């Protein structure tokens, strides 16, 4: 009898423990893993509530380097000069955060960033100069003449609101001026709370904007030997390595960030993505940049961490040939168009006649794609998405021009 009672007691006890475990398992993990007192202190009380309100935010923050150096939520969220503060549960926080909040602690990165085309030129490419102050225009024009002092983009106006905001601006807002006087946002590449260099080194991060037929950088990278090796070997790489200590041991193949920004093996980390470039490849006809020599040397210094001089010289010579031959093809098409305008066979307005779209596609899609493909290892983009289309569109232009002339003489 006694034996039976003990057995029942043990059985009930065990069942209760199992039940308790099960119930506990059902509870959201945020309630199980209460933050340590130290973490709550470090996050300035905010995390106490936000673990219930927006647990994901606190979790993302806890993964960041900021959390490991004991930064506070309020360090970012407090209003800085020029920002409007709002009362929030006993704290004053900024109504919205911008690059100004990051600049307080990272002035060098900010200065490099605003000097690049990710700064004012990116926004001006859509809206023109109207949203910038005189000082901002002068500062940007010093590095990128004509890139900010220009009119609003015609195509965006034709497509109208909606398309302009959710399309053009959603990528070009990387350089949008903020009410507090700063320009742009840092979180497009780092995210708000993870503020991660690993994220910024992922090709998909740049590919949010650098993709599609007019700037197929992500697609080109994916096709390149670098992209293929990166995808296959990603798990073995240390994408979290500190930028100033990054070696080819951490990343044996480059991503977008490595070539355009990283401080690989003693090189300077740069947030000026213009620094390592030698041509204006996005232009219809690509000229050398005034900083051609410097840009090419800096990029080649990077290639030479992993390749030999002869192979890089060969690579650049071939890519430059693609720039030259593409320029010739675009100039030929442009001369055809100029003649049609001179003969009054076309109106002065852009994008109101079919042939203008064919010409635009010719340089804006296929010309650019051929040049980008040549410099980043995308053979298919140099050929089938590039030169083949350049040829086909040229023939189409010639036929359309002949038809316009024939129609005039009828």
Q: How far is CA 51 from CA 62, 279, 313, in A?
A: 11, 49, 55
The closest alpha carbon to 99, from 116, 117, 74, 119, belongs to 119
CB proximity list for 253: less than 8 A, separation 6 or greater: 226, 229, 230, 233
Contact 173, 123 (CB under 8 A): yes
Q: Which of residues 62-81 bind ligand HEC (CB under 6 A)?
A: 65-66, 69, 71, 73-77
Contacting range for ligand HEC; rule: CB under 6 A; set: 24-32, 189-197, 355-363, 400-408: 189-197
Q: Is 119 in the site for ligand HEC (CB under 6 A)?
A: no
Given candidates 100, 140, 206, 333, which one binds ligand HEC under the rule CB under 6 A?
A: 206
Contact 176, 167 (CB under 8 A): no
Residue that has been written with the tokens 């991503």 in this structure: 255
Binding flags for ligand HEC, 311-350, as an x/- string (CB under 6 A) = xx--x-----------------------------------
Residue that has been written with the tokens 């340089």 in this structure: 363
| Minimum distance from residue 333 beta carbon to ligand HEC (Å) | 18
Given candidates 110, 363, 365, 366, which one binds ligand HEC under the rule CB under 6 A?
A: 110
Contacting range for ligand HEC; rule: CB under 6 A; set: 215-223, 335-343, 355-363, 385-393: 215-223
Indicate the residue among 9 and 158 with the shorter CB distance to ligand HEC: 158
Binding flags for ligand HEC, 1-40, as an x/- string (CB under 6 A) = ----------------------------------------
Q: Is 172 in the site for ligand HEC (CB under 6 A)?
A: yes
Burial class of residue 409 in the structure, from the number of CB atoms within 10 Å of its CB (0-12 exposed, 13-18 middle, 19+ buried): exposed
| Minimum distance from residue 165 beta carbon to ligand HEC (Å) | 10
CB proximity list for 346: less than 8 A, separation 6 or greater: 337, 340, 353, 355, 356, 404
Q: Is 96 in the site for ligand HEC (CB under 6 A)?
A: yes
Q: Is 195 in the site for ligand HEC (CB under 6 A)?
A: yes
Q: Is 367 in the site for ligand HEC (CB under 6 A)?
A: no
Q: Is 155 in the site for ligand HEC (CB under 6 A)?
A: yes
Indicate the residue among 210 and 401 with the shorter CB distance to ligand HEC: 210
Tell me the two tokens of residue 106.
């990272």
- Residues 143, 162: Cα–Cα separation, whole Å: 32
- Residues 168, 127: Cα–Cα separation, whole Å: 10
- Residues 297, 261: Cα–Cα separation, whole Å: 14
How many other CB atoms are found less than 10 A from the CB of residue 145?
Answer: 10
- Residues 221, 236: Cα–Cα separation, whole Å: 19
What's the half-sphere exposure (Cβ side, CA atoms, 13 Å) at 394? 17
- Residues 119, 195: Cα–Cα separation, whole Å: 19
| Minimum distance from residue 29 beta carbon to ligand HEC (Å) | 16
Q: Is 140 in the site for ligand HEC (CB under 6 A)?
A: no
- Residues 250, 143: Cα–Cα separation, whole Å: 33
Q: Which of residues 224-263 bind ligand HEC (CB under 6 A)?
A: 225-226, 229, 242-244, 246, 248, 251-263
| Minimum distance from residue 2 beta carbon to ligand HEC (Å) | 54
Q: Is 88 in the site for ligand HEC (CB under 6 A)?
A: yes
Given candidates 115, 176, 271, 393, which one binds ligand HEC under the rule CB under 6 A?
A: 271
Given candidates 6, 12, 19, 49, which one binds ligand HEC under the rule CB under 6 A?
A: 49
| Minimum distance from residue 128 beta carbon to ligand HEC (Å) | 10
Q: Is 358 in the site for ligand HEC (CB under 6 A)?
A: no
Burial 357-368 (b: 16+ CB within 10 A, else e): ebbbbbbbbbbb
| Minimum distance from residue 118 beta carbon to ligand HEC (Å) | 5
- Residues 280, 144: Cα–Cα separation, whole Å: 11
Indicate the residue among 222 and 394 with the shorter CB distance to ligand HEC: 222
Q: Which of residues 295-314 bind ligand HEC (CB under 6 A)?
A: 295-296, 299, 302-303, 305-307, 311-312
């Amino acid at each position: 009898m006694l034996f039976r009672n003990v057995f029942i007691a043990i059985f009930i006890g065990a069942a209760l423990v199992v039940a308790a475990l099960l119930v506990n398992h059902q509870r959201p993990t945020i309630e199980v893993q209460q933050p340590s007192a130290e973490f709550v202190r470090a996050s300035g009380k905010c995390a106490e509530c936000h673990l219930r309100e927006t647990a994901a935010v606190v979790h993302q923050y806890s993964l960041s380097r900021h959390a490991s150096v004991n930064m506070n939520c309020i360090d970012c969220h407090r209003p800085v000069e020029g920002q409007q503060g709002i009362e929030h549960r006993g704290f004053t926080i900024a109504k919205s955060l911008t690059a100004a909040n990051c600049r307080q602690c990272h002035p060098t990165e900010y200065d490099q960033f605003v000097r690049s085309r990710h700064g004012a030129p990116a926004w001006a490419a859509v809206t023109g100069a109207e949203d910038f102050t005189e000082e901002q225009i002068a500062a940007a024009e010093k590095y990128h003449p004509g890139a900010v002092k220009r009119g609003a983009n015609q195509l965006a106006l034709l497509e109208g609101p909606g398309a302009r905001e959710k399309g053009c601006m959603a990528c070009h807002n990387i350089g949008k001026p903020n009410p507090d006087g700063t320009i742009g946002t840092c979180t497009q590449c780092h995210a708000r709370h993870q503020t991660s260099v690993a994220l910024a080194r992922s090709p998909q991060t740049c590919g949010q904007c650098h993709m599609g037929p007019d700037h197929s950088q992500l697609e080109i990278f994916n096709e390149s030997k670098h992209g293929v090796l990166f995808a296959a070997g990603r798990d073995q790489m240390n994408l979290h390595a500190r930028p100033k200590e990054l070696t080819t041991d951490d990343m044996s193949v480059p991503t977008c960030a490595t070539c355009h920004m990283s401080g690989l093996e003693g090189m300077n980390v740069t947030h000026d993505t213009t620094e390592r470039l030698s041509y204006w490849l996005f232009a219809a006809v690509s000229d050398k940049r005034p900083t051609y020599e410097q840009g090419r040397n800096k990029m080649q210094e990077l290639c030479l961490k992993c390749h030999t001089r002869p192979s890089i010289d060969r690579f650049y010579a071939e890519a430059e040939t693609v720039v030259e031959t593409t320029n010739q093809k675009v100039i030929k098409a442009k001369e055809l168009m100029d003649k049609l305008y001179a003969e009054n066979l076309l109106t002065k307005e852009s994008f109101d006649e079919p042939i203008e779209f064919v010409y635009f596609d010719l340089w804006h899609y296929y010309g650019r794609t051929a040049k980008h493909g040549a410099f980043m290892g995308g053979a298919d983009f140099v050929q089938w998405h590039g030169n083949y289309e350049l040829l086909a569109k040229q023939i189409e232009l010639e036929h359309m021009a002949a038809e316009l002339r024939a129609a005039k003489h009828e």
